[in-house]
Amino acid sequence: MACFTAPLAQALVVSAAKSAAGGKVATSRNPFVRRIGWLQKMLFGGSFLLAIEHVWHGEITWKYPFLTAVAEGDTAGMLREIATLGVTMALLITAAWVAMVLVSEAAARHAAHTEA
């Protein structure tokens, strides 16, 4: 129904934080701060693909109120789905990003160690 809104909301918060940090992101010593763009792209990309999937299955329409759950009076079910599935997806995307950053840092350390 609208589970894609939770990762989308997180993507907007990450974008605002990245924008507020400005040029400090690229020069940060913290690998998670330097790679915040990865998280931003993963969240926006995932939200976009989920929204397309919901359009494909008719859960999102081009006429008001856009979400069929709201039109059918199942707002409570939609909010429950956002709170359970949407938040879970946002957390899993964030966990995958954390793993990617850790692996990339380990690979960079390994490459630097073998070159020396």
Q: What is the DSSP string of 16-66?
A: HHHHHHTTHHHH-S-HHHHTHHHHHHHHHHHHHHHHHHHHHTTSB-SSTT-
The answer to the question of residue 45 being in a domain is yes
Could you tell me if residue 19 is inside a domain?
A: no
Say if 10 falls within a structural domain: yes
In a domain, 20, yes or no: no
Whole-angstrom distance, CA of residue 44 vs CA of residue 36: 12
SS3 4: coil
Q: Which residues span the domain enclosing 75?
A: 5-14+28-109
Q: Give the number of other Cβ atoms within 10 Å of residue 17's Cβ.
A: 13
* In-domain check, residue 47: yes
Q: What are the tokens at 41?
A: 């792209």
Tokens of 78: 């939609």
Residue 115 forms part of a structural domain: no
- Number of folded domains that form the chain: 1
Residue 59 lies in a domain: yes
- The residue among 65 and 56 whose pLDDT is bigger is 56
In the predicted model, is pLDDT for residue 116 greater than 70?
Answer: no
- pLDDT band at residue 65 using 50, 70 and 90 as cut-offs: confident
Q: Which helix (H) or strand (E) holds 12?
A: helix 5-21
SS3 74: coil
Helices (H) and strands (E) in the chain, counts: 7, 0
CA distance 116 to 53: 49
* Residue 1 predicted with pLDDT over 80: no
The pTM of the full predicted model, rounded to 2 decimals, is: 0.89
Task: Classify residue 23: in a domain, yes or no.
Answer: no
The reported pLDDT for the residue numbered 17 is 95
